Amino acid sequence: MADKMATRQAYGNTLAVLGSKDENIVVLDADLSGSTMTKVFAKEFPERFFNIGIAEQNLYGIAAGMAISGKTVFASTFAMFAAGRAFEIIRNSIGYTGANVKICATHAGVTVGEDGGSHQAIEDIALMRSIPGMTVINPSDGVSAAKLIEEAAAIAGPVYVRLGRAAVPILYSEDSDFQIGKAITLREGSDFTVIAAGIMVNEALLAAETLSQQGLSIRVLDMHTIKPIDEEAILKAASETKGIVTAEEHTVIGGLGSAVAEVTAKGHPVPMEFIGIKDVFGQSGKPDELLKAYNLTAEDIVFAVGKLKR
């Protein structure tokens, strides 16, 4: 198994596998198949692949129509253009109708890098989880991306899958089991809990190891499904540990941290810290530099746990 893989690559590979098993699956793209990796499906099943062009609103309108006609539709573009440019179409044509469309959006977050703030979707989770009936998934590695996309294909209704541009460490083995709506405990701990999603899961594990050398026992949860969120796992962590840090490559407004806080505020209030982008836009730069600039590193998680200790 590769040490690293981009979640978008896992998506492309998985689409081809799903396409070979289910002739009802169709794939749409906004002239970005080389980047979203839907090109893998297009090569294998050209008659079921549709390049709609640089017209995302049209892309998701067509996706809705095909889904309502009985197809299982995977429709891809960059996260900024899906969640942003096409929001109203996704809300009214896909969300409102409950259409069976899987919105698999790549190049999310600041790790898009040099493309800069105009292309760095940092609000997409907040937007998509606000749509009634929308499932929202943010895989942490190539294995989880593949497994969760398979799960998404198996359920009826709209799903938003957040995928990244850069290759990220493989955290799971091929026999790992994933279920939409159920967090995975990657590390048990009794002092504090870090709840992370996407690329921040690896940073959470690195932080937990550092903190263990300081004598702290850190629980790490991979909250791969932001909606429906695993309330049971959150409340268990809130009651069994002294505080929670959330970590996401997304604005702290309306994303994973907000979703977790909504659960704890009602069910078990607990001290919390939020690792995420603090109400600012992204900027152009190399991915690693941007993660440091926006305090999205293991060191920042360690610091946040330290604040909860005080």
Query: Catalytic annotation on 289?
Result: no
Delimit the domains of the chain by residue range: 4-169, 184-309
Per-residue confidence at 299, pLDDT binned at 50, 70, 90? very high
Per-residue confidence at 112, pLDDT binned at 50, 70, 90? very high
Q: What is the CATH number of domain 4-169?
A: 3.40.50.970
168 three-class SS: strand
Per-residue confidence at 2, pLDDT binned at 50, 70, 90? low
Chain centroid, CA 27 distance in Å: 20
C-alpha count within 13 angstroms, C-beta hemisphere, residue 91: 12
Pairing relationship of beta strands 184-187 and 218-222 according to DSSP bridges: antiparallel
Q: State phi, psi for 244 to the nearest 5 degrees.
A: -130, 135
**Domain 184-309's class?**
alpha beta
Do domains 4-169 and 184-309 share one topology? The answer is: yes
pLDDT score, position 240 = 98
For the stretch 137-195, pLDDT in tens is 999 999 999 999 999 999 999 999 999 999 999 999 999 999 999 999 999 999 999 99
pLDDT score, position 310 = 77
Per-residue confidence at 1, pLDDT binned at 50, 70, 90? very low
For the stretch 230-244, pLDDT in tens is 999 999 999 999 999
Rounded Cα gap, residues 166 and 148, in angstroms:
19
The answer to whether 154 and 127 are in contact (CB under 8 A) is no
Rounded Cα gap, residues 35 and 195, in angstroms:
29
Rounded Cα gap, residues 176 and 173, in angstroms:
5
Written as six digits, the tokens of 288 are: 């690693």
Catalytic choice (47, 56, 88, 114):
56
DSSP state, 108?
B
